[in-house]
Chains A and B, each alone.
Chain A
Amino acid sequence: MEIYRAHVLVCGGTGCSSSGSATLIERFNEKIAENGLEKEVKVIRTGCFGLCEAGPVVIVYPDGTFYSRVKPENVDEIVTEHLLKGRKVEHLVYTDHATHEQDANKALDDITFYKYQKRIALRNCGVIDPENIDEYLAMDGYLALEKALTKMTREEVIDEILKSGLRGRGGGGFPTGLKWKFTYNSVSDQKYVACNADEGDPGAFMDRSILEGDPHAIIEAMAIAGYAIGASEGYIYVRAEYPIAVKRLTVAIKQAEEYGLLGDNIFGTDFSFRLFIRLGAGAFVCGEETALMHSIEGKRGEPTTRPPFPAVKGLFAKPTMLNNVETYANVAQIILHGADWYNSMGTEKSKGTKVFALGGKINNTGLVEVPMGTTLRTIIYDIGGGCPNGKKFKAVQTGGPSGGCLPESLLDTPVDYDNLIAAGSMMGSGGMIVMDEDNCMVDIARFYLDFIVDESCGKCTPCRVGTKRMLEILNRIVNGKGKEGDIEKLEELAQTIKSTALCGLGQTAPNPVLSTLHFFRDEYEAHIKEKRCPAHHCKALLQYVITDKCRGCTACARVCPAQAITGEVKKQHVIDPDKCRKCGACMEKCRFGAITKM
């Protein structure tokens, strides 16, 4: 085996790839060769390291120096200074958002963003090369599969998962071990294991990062599940929108087959297991388990009523055990370290850790994994660094289109499945979108309803027609045409849809409206009664006005696409509200802060 004195880890996750990390890798390899270091330094493309905001991220080991927002032109300096002469390039080192320090000697775990985290599902993301099975093996990879196959009975494996307290990470929170047990109990000539990687919840990308950063963890867990429930085949259903994830999974499955970790008689036992990938084709409802299985079968992805549950009759009418990517990512670790290790973390009813995708109006966008029970405040402020540009926090949305918006007063809620439901939202898959004072909560509710109307499969009437009527009312309200009684109508429709829709998508569709009505009713009322949008977001309800700070520089008049601004040079200008298209171009252009929204 070749031994290198230093490793350069470049993030190859979707975020950093989009910020140009592939060019960085090329440049590093070129410069390393130019300096004759190719036998001493190795460049590795890893999966996502979580801190997308600081991307592209480069970490140099053995020092553990964390460089952020690295540009191709910085590579030369890192190679000639750090790698050749051993002098860390201080000015490129990541600046800690809390301490404002740029400390090249600080250990990664001490950086504020990582300090509160506990990485189990993400343990290998950003650490290993996801396309190299040897690196996974070196991180105790496939040891859990070996342990399960050679030292544990099928019942013991299921018991261990049950005892760990692991619950479904896709959003429902159903005890994973129970699901395994039910499928184990079903008698059939053929059973299936399936993985839900159809991460459709907008704003959540943990499944993507796990598949891109640690695909073998999912393969290993599915094989363990196959052994436990008695399945010889498994299907991974991935969104077509995730090309990198699909590619790395394909590579990983091939490598596992070559190593005999998938296929016939794994580890010399009589257990055989094969995995297949199926691609989604852009339908949110396919995240629902029955719809997903129909889609794998090559049909329209419409849900069907349960029972029968998939554990009895699922894919191709055989008993099927479907888990989410993040759920699987915990399995090998539980088998390896034991249920007691896992259930020592978390809260009474929610064990272990949860990955959250931080996005929206927050300084440190990215992926974080924290023990269950961590408060929203810790996640948003200590780890996320709060709202940018000194804006005031308004709400955090969790649970995607099935969840809700929680206000400032609930920030000290310890996050777990039950607490979030009690607070009026839900865990969902773990998207966490922060909103500040500039976001209109009525418009956010409208946004989610618009999403649902678009994605409703149309099979049941409450979801197909009901959500559309709700959207019409919300459109009316944000356009300044809201009427007395609209709020009550929304509530009535919401309750009806909740209790009568066919699947989880429809039953939870009204949640964003209900939660915003509960916590931000005053905003709805301002829109309807006063024809005013408190956040100055809704175009129909807002006016741009030039104040006496105006110096008459004419910049705004020149940039206005509607010629709505008039005035003499060096005198205060005026906006004609009838001509104004409310594009905001004038406000961006004004150097004196003289244009405000009313």
Chain B
Amino acid sequence: MDQSKEKFAQLQELIDSHKGQKGALMPVLQGAQGIFGCVSEDVQKFIAEGLGVTLSEVYGVATFYAQFSLHPKGEYLISVCLGTACYVKGSQSVLDKLSEVLEIPVGGTTPDGKFTLEATRCLGACGLAPVMMINGEVYGRLTPDAVPGIIAKYKAKD
């Protein structure tokens, strides 16, 4: 409970620093996504009140952009690039392999809350295609065979 209080205090600070600024909603939502890991309904309500906009406006923006998620994501976010350069070099089979190894569909989160698997559009690392990113770390020149080893590394992390 205290932890959640602390997070809302952080959010309040963020809202105060952006209040009155033109186009403040996007940076505030981005900050909230960072603080909470998602922008759930209560977070959206808090932002709407704080910025003096309607909840429907906040919800409209939060659901428009792929970056905002209404539900919490796993501890490790695996984004497999399905940009063109990666796709022609076989990133679909890497994604399929991950789905098989983690036993979750694309877009899903493992029951233990450890991994979320996503397909993403171009990461701009086309030179290393096919690539994936796990919490900001980029893995390049992937093959499906490399997948189990990489996942095992993260599973062993605690």
Contacts and interface: CB of A to CB of B under 8 A. Distances in A.
Interface of A: 14-15, 17-19, 52-53, 55, 199-205, 208, 240-243, 278-284, 295-302, 316, 357, 359-361, 365-366, 397, 400, 431, 433, 435, 439, 444, 447-448, 451, 455, 457, 584
B55 interface: no
Interface string B12-33: 0000000000111111011000
Nearest to A588: B145
A433 B127 CA distance: 11
A243 B68 CA distance: 16
B123 A241 contact: yes
A235 to B, nearest CB: 9
A594 to B, nearest CB: 20
B10 interface: no
Nearest to A357: B126
Contact of A359 (B30, B126, B140): B126
Interface stretch (B58-66, B108-116, B149-157): B58-66
Contacts of B120: 241
B140 A18 contact: yes
Nearest to B58: A298
Nearest to B83: A202
A18 B22 contact: no
B88 A435 contact: yes
A457 B140 CA distance: 31
Interface of B: 22-27, 29-30, 57, 60-61, 64-68, 82-85, 87-89, 93, 120-129, 131, 136, 138-140
A362 B51 CA distance: 50
A366 B125 CA distance: 9
A460 to B, nearest CB: 15
9 contacts: A14-B123, A14-B124, A18-B139, A55-B127, A200-B121, A203-B84, A204-B122, A359-B127, A361-B89
Contacts of A202: 82-85, 87, 121-122
Contact of B65 (A205, A281, A584): A281
A365 B64 CA distance: 33
B141 to A, nearest CB: 9
**Among B82, B93, B127, B138, residue most surrounded by chain A Cβ atoms (within 10 Å):** B127
B127 A365 contact: yes
Contacts of A439: 88
B49 to A, nearest CB: 16
**Among B23, B68, B89, residue most surrounded by chain A Cβ atoms (within 10 Å):** B23
A435 B84 CA distance: 10
A407 B57 CA distance: 47
Nearest to B121: A202
Contacts of B60: 299-300
A356 B90 CA distance: 22
Contact of A199 (B93, B124, B129, B140): B124
Contact of A240 (B64, B67, B93, B131): B67
Contact of B122 (A201, A360, A447): A201
Given A278-B27, A281-B66, A205 B124 contact: yes
Given A203-B85, A297-B22, A18 B128 contact: yes
A332 B14 CA distance: 37
Given A300-B64, A361-B89, A52 B127 contact: yes
A281 B29 contact: yes
A360 B129 CA distance: 8
List the 9 closest A-B pairs by CB distance, nearest first: A52-B127, A359-B85, A282-B66, A202-B83, A281-B65, A298-B25, A18-B138, A298-B23, A281-B67
B77 to A, nearest CB: 12
B124 A299 contact: no
A439 B89 CA distance: 9
B85 A301 contact: no
A455 B64 CA distance: 10
Nearest to A16: B127
A457 B64 contact: yes
B88 to A, nearest CB: 4
A281 B139 CA distance: 22
Contacts of B25: 298-299
A441 to B, nearest CB: 11
A279 B26 contact: yes
A53 B126 CA distance: 9
Contacts of A284: 121
A362 B88 CA distance: 11
**Among B68, B82, B128, residue most surrounded by chain A Cβ atoms (within 10 Å):** B128
**Among B57, B65, B121, B126, residue most surrounded by chain A Cβ atoms (within 10 Å):** B126
A301 B64 CA distance: 8
A69 to B, nearest CB: 11
Nearest to B92: A447
Contact of A397 (B82, B84, B124, B128): B84
B126 A205 contact: yes
Nearest to A439: B88
A204 to B, nearest CB: 7
Contacts of A447: 84, 87
A302 B66 CA distance: 14
Contacts of A584: 93
Contacts of A201: 122
Nearest to B23: A298
A286 B101 CA distance: 34
A448 B61 CA distance: 25
Contacts of A199: 124
A431 B127 CA distance: 12
B67 to A, nearest CB: 4
Contact of B85 (A17, A240, A433, A455): A433
B84 A243 contact: no
A300 B127 contact: no
A561 to B, nearest CB: 9
Nearest to A360: B88
Contacts of A448: 84
A301 B22 contact: no
Contacts of B22: 297-298, 316
B120 to A, nearest CB: 7
A276 B95 CA distance: 37
Contacts of A400: 84
A446 to B, nearest CB: 10
A433 B65 contact: no
A18 B130 CA distance: 12
Contacts of A19: 128, 140
A201 B85 CA distance: 11
Nearest to A235: B23
Contacts of A241: 120, 122-124
Contact of B26 (A298, A444, A451): A298
B121 A451 contact: yes
B59 to A, nearest CB: 10
